[in-house]
Chain A
Amino acid sequence: GQQLNQSPQSMFIQEGEDVSMNCTSSSIFNTWLWYKQDPGEGPVLLIALYKAGELTSNGRLTAQFGTTRKDSFLNISASIPSDVGIYFCAGAYTGTASKLTFGTGTRLQVTL
Protein backbone atom coordinates (compact mmCIF):
# COMPACT_ATOMS: atom_id res chain seq x y z
CA GLY A 1 0.00 0.00 0.00
CA GLN A 2 0.93 3.65 -0.29
CA GLN A 3 3.17 5.19 2.32
CA LEU A 4 3.96 8.83 2.74
CA ASN A 5 7.55 10.01 2.55
CA GLN A 6 8.90 11.94 5.48
CA SER A 7 12.16 13.86 5.66
CA PRO A 8 14.53 13.92 7.23
CA GLN A 9 14.57 10.27 8.30
CA SER A 10 16.40 11.23 11.48
CA MET A 11 17.95 14.25 13.04
CA PHE A 12 20.17 15.13 15.95
CA ILE A 13 19.70 18.60 17.33
CA GLN A 14 20.77 20.54 20.36
CA GLU A 15 18.36 21.57 23.07
CA GLY A 16 16.86 24.95 22.26
CA GLU A 17 17.10 24.58 18.50
CA ASP A 18 14.12 24.71 16.18
CA VAL A 19 13.16 21.64 14.16
CA SER A 20 11.44 21.33 10.79
CA MET A 21 10.21 18.17 9.10
CA ASN A 22 7.93 17.49 6.19
CA CYS A 23 5.75 14.84 4.66
CA THR A 24 4.93 14.37 0.99
CA SER A 25 2.47 12.24 -0.91
CA SER A 26 1.87 11.35 -4.53
CA SER A 27 -1.87 11.76 -4.01
CA ILE A 28 -4.19 14.27 -2.38
CA PHE A 29 -5.43 13.98 1.18
CA ASN A 30 -8.32 15.85 2.79
CA THR A 31 -6.98 15.54 6.33
CA TRP A 32 -3.43 15.58 7.66
CA LEU A 33 -2.47 14.48 11.15
CA TRP A 34 0.81 14.53 13.06
CA TYR A 35 1.53 11.94 15.76
CA LYS A 36 4.47 11.32 18.10
CA GLN A 37 5.45 7.84 19.19
CA ASP A 38 7.67 7.02 22.15
CA PRO A 39 9.33 3.58 22.49
CA GLY A 40 6.89 0.89 23.56
CA GLU A 41 3.87 3.14 23.26
CA GLY A 42 1.19 4.01 20.75
CA PRO A 43 1.13 7.16 18.61
CA VAL A 44 -0.14 10.26 20.39
CA LEU A 45 -1.96 12.89 18.36
CA LEU A 46 -0.17 16.26 18.20
CA ILE A 47 -2.00 18.29 15.58
CA ALA A 48 -4.88 17.73 13.14
CA LEU A 49 -5.32 19.75 9.92
CA TYR A 50 -8.55 19.83 7.89
CA LYS A 51 -8.18 22.56 5.24
CA ALA A 52 -5.60 23.25 2.56
CA GLY A 53 -3.33 26.08 3.67
CA GLU A 54 -4.37 25.72 7.31
CA LEU A 55 -1.72 26.59 9.89
CA THR A 56 -2.31 25.23 13.39
CA SER A 57 -0.27 25.48 16.58
CA ASN A 58 -0.16 23.38 19.73
CA GLY A 59 2.26 24.95 22.20
CA ARG A 60 5.74 24.86 20.65
CA LEU A 61 4.47 22.84 17.69
CA THR A 62 3.15 24.34 14.46
CA ALA A 63 1.91 22.36 11.49
CA GLN A 64 0.69 23.36 8.05
CA PHE A 65 -1.56 21.66 5.52
CA GLY A 66 0.11 22.23 2.16
CA THR A 67 -1.88 24.14 -0.47
CA THR A 68 -1.47 21.32 -3.00
CA ARG A 69 -3.02 18.89 -0.46
CA LYS A 70 -0.05 16.61 -1.13
CA ASP A 71 2.20 17.71 1.69
CA SER A 72 2.36 18.87 5.27
CA PHE A 73 5.00 20.39 7.52
CA LEU A 74 5.71 20.26 11.25
CA ASN A 75 7.89 22.70 13.15
CA ILE A 76 9.02 22.41 16.76
CA SER A 77 10.43 25.53 18.34
CA ALA A 78 12.99 25.63 21.17
CA SER A 79 13.34 21.85 21.43
CA ILE A 80 13.65 20.18 24.81
CA PRO A 81 14.87 16.66 25.74
CA SER A 82 11.32 15.26 26.00
CA ASP A 83 10.79 16.04 22.31
CA VAL A 84 12.83 12.91 21.58
CA GLY A 85 10.80 10.32 19.72
CA ILE A 86 9.51 9.39 16.30
CA TYR A 87 7.17 11.79 14.53
CA PHE A 88 4.70 10.40 12.03
CA CYS A 89 2.49 12.20 9.58
CA ALA A 90 -0.75 10.54 8.50
CA GLY A 91 -3.23 11.37 5.77
CA ALA A 92 -6.89 10.53 5.33
CA TYR A 93 -9.00 10.83 2.17
CA THR A 94 -12.48 11.23 3.62
CA GLY A 95 -12.15 12.79 7.05
CA THR A 96 -10.77 10.88 9.97
CA ALA A 97 -13.45 8.18 10.07
CA SER A 98 -11.50 6.24 7.48
CA LYS A 99 -8.16 4.55 7.20
CA LEU A 100 -5.04 6.57 7.84
CA THR A 101 -1.98 6.29 5.61
CA PHE A 102 1.15 6.82 7.69
CA GLY A 103 4.50 8.29 6.79
CA THR A 104 7.85 6.60 7.23
CA GLY A 105 8.64 8.65 10.35
CA THR A 106 11.25 11.18 11.44
CA ARG A 107 13.34 10.12 14.42
CA LEU A 108 14.32 13.10 16.55
CA GLN A 109 17.14 13.03 19.07
CA VAL A 110 17.91 16.02 21.22
CA THR A 111 21.28 16.52 22.86
CA LEU A 112 21.88 18.74 25.84
Chain B
Amino acid sequence: NAGVMQNPRHLVRRRGQEARLRCSPMKGHSHVYWYRQLPEEGLKFMVYLQKENIIDESGMPKERFSAEFPKEGPSILRIQQVVRGDSAAYFCASSPPGGDSNQPQHFGDGTRLSIL
Protein backbone atom coordinates (compact mmCIF):
# COMPACT_ATOMS: atom_id res chain seq x y z
CA ASN B 1 0.00 0.00 0.00
CA ALA B 2 1.63 3.21 -1.15
CA GLY B 3 -0.73 5.48 0.77
CA VAL B 4 0.00 7.94 3.56
CA MET B 5 1.05 5.95 6.62
CA GLN B 6 0.48 7.22 10.14
CA ASN B 7 1.50 5.61 13.38
CA PRO B 8 0.53 4.83 15.93
CA ARG B 9 -3.17 4.49 15.09
CA HIS B 10 -4.08 4.96 18.74
CA LEU B 11 -2.04 6.68 21.44
CA VAL B 12 -2.89 7.06 25.10
CA ARG B 13 -1.01 9.51 27.28
CA ARG B 14 -1.41 10.88 30.79
CA ARG B 15 -1.58 14.61 31.37
CA GLY B 16 1.88 16.15 31.30
CA GLN B 17 3.46 13.50 29.09
CA GLU B 18 4.71 13.97 25.54
CA ALA B 19 2.99 12.64 22.42
CA ARG B 20 4.83 11.94 19.16
CA LEU B 21 2.82 11.26 16.03
CA ARG B 22 4.50 10.04 12.85
CA CYS B 23 3.57 10.40 9.21
CA SER B 24 5.21 8.88 6.14
CA PRO B 25 3.91 10.56 2.98
CA MET B 26 2.97 8.76 -0.20
CA LYS B 27 5.90 7.73 -2.36
CA GLY B 28 7.13 10.68 -4.38
CA HIS B 29 5.33 13.24 -2.21
CA SER B 30 7.40 15.90 -0.50
CA HIS B 31 4.65 18.10 0.97
CA VAL B 32 3.11 17.12 4.29
CA TYR B 33 0.16 18.66 6.11
CA TRP B 34 -1.19 18.03 9.59
CA TYR B 35 -4.84 18.48 10.57
CA ARG B 36 -6.75 17.98 13.83
CA GLN B 37 -10.31 16.70 14.09
CA LEU B 38 -12.48 16.90 17.19
CA PRO B 39 -15.53 14.60 17.46
CA GLU B 40 -18.42 15.62 15.23
CA GLU B 41 -16.36 18.37 13.56
CA GLY B 42 -14.47 18.92 10.34
CA LEU B 43 -10.69 18.82 10.05
CA LYS B 44 -8.75 21.95 11.03
CA PHE B 45 -5.41 22.79 9.45
CA MET B 46 -2.40 22.89 11.71
CA VAL B 47 0.84 23.00 9.71
CA TYR B 48 2.26 22.54 6.20
CA LEU B 49 5.83 21.32 5.75
CA GLN B 50 8.22 20.48 2.97
CA LYS B 51 11.47 18.62 3.54
CA GLU B 52 13.36 20.47 6.30
CA ASN B 53 11.09 23.54 6.01
CA ILE B 54 7.94 24.75 7.70
CA ILE B 55 5.90 26.53 5.01
CA ASP B 56 2.76 27.50 6.94
CA GLU B 57 2.19 26.99 10.66
CA SER B 58 -0.73 29.37 11.01
CA GLY B 59 -2.93 26.66 12.57
CA MET B 60 -0.46 25.49 15.19
CA PRO B 61 -1.04 26.40 18.84
CA LYS B 62 1.70 28.76 19.98
CA GLU B 63 2.88 26.56 22.81
CA ARG B 64 3.59 22.86 23.33
CA PHE B 65 3.09 21.90 19.66
CA SER B 66 5.87 21.47 17.11
CA ALA B 67 6.31 19.72 13.79
CA GLU B 68 9.22 18.67 11.65
CA PHE B 69 9.83 16.91 8.36
CA PRO B 70 13.50 15.93 8.25
CA LYS B 71 15.50 15.13 5.14
CA GLU B 72 15.31 11.46 6.03
CA GLY B 73 12.44 9.76 7.82
CA PRO B 74 8.84 10.57 8.59
CA SER B 75 7.25 13.84 9.58
CA ILE B 76 6.72 14.16 13.33
CA LEU B 77 4.03 16.11 15.17
CA ARG B 78 5.11 16.56 18.76
CA ILE B 79 2.88 17.65 21.62
CA GLN B 80 4.60 18.39 24.91
CA GLN B 81 2.93 18.35 28.33
CA VAL B 82 -0.35 17.09 26.94
CA VAL B 83 -3.66 18.25 28.41
CA ARG B 84 -7.16 16.74 28.15
CA GLY B 85 -8.07 19.20 25.41
CA ASP B 86 -5.43 17.68 23.14
CA SER B 87 -7.57 14.54 22.79
CA ALA B 88 -8.50 14.38 19.11
CA ALA B 89 -7.80 12.58 15.86
CA TYR B 90 -4.72 13.92 14.10
CA PHE B 91 -4.53 13.43 10.35
CA CYS B 92 -1.61 13.77 8.01
CA ALA B 93 -1.94 14.43 4.28
CA SER B 94 0.64 14.59 1.51
CA SER B 95 0.92 15.99 -2.00
CA PRO B 96 3.57 15.89 -4.73
CA PRO B 97 6.35 18.48 -5.14
CA GLY B 98 5.99 21.55 -7.31
CA GLY B 99 2.64 22.73 -6.02
CA ASP B 100 0.84 20.96 -8.84
CA SER B 101 -2.74 22.03 -8.50
CA ASN B 102 -3.99 18.88 -10.18
CA GLN B 103 -2.64 16.65 -7.42
CA PRO B 104 -4.81 17.07 -4.36
CA GLN B 105 -3.89 16.10 -0.83
CA HIS B 106 -4.32 12.46 0.17
CA PHE B 107 -4.90 11.57 3.80
CA GLY B 108 -3.73 8.86 6.15
CA ASP B 109 -6.06 7.07 8.57
CA GLY B 110 -5.03 9.26 11.47
CA THR B 111 -3.77 8.87 15.03
CA ARG B 112 -6.41 8.92 17.74
CA LEU B 113 -4.86 10.59 20.77
CA SER B 114 -6.52 10.08 24.15
CA ILE B 115 -5.35 11.94 27.24
CA LEU B 116 -6.16 10.39 30.60
- On A, residues with C-beta under 8 Å from B are 1, 3-4, 31, 33, 35, 40-45, 48, 50, 88, 90, 94-105
Contacts and interface: CB of A to CB of B under 8 A. Distances in A.
Given A96-B104, A99-B33, A40 B42 contact: no
- What is the interface of chain A mostly: helix, strand, loop, or mixed? loop
Nearest to A42: B107
Contacts of A50: 101-102
A102 B105 contact: no
Contact-residue size bin, chain B (C-beta under 8 Å from the other chain): 20 to 34
Contacts of B59: 1, 99
Nearest to B42: A102
Given A94-B99, A101-B45, 14 more contacts: A1-B44, A33-B105, A42-B107, A43-B43, A45-B104, A50-B101, A95-B99, A95-B101, A96-B95, A96-B100, A99-B33, A99-B59, A100-B43, A100-B105
Given A3-B42, A31-B101, A102-B43, A42 B56 contact: no
B69 interface: no
B105 A96 contact: yes
A95 B93 CA distance: 15
A98 B106 contact: no
A103 B42 contact: yes
B107 A97 contact: no
13 contacts: A1-B59, A3-B42, A4-B42, A40-B109, A42-B110, A50-B101, A94-B99, A96-B101, A97-B31, A99-B33, A100-B45, A102-B35, A104-B41
Nearest to A89: B42
B108 interface: yes
Interface in B9-61: 31, 33, 35, 41-45, 48, 56, 58-59
B42 A104 contact: yes
Given A1-B44, A103-B42, A104-B41, A97 B101 contact: yes
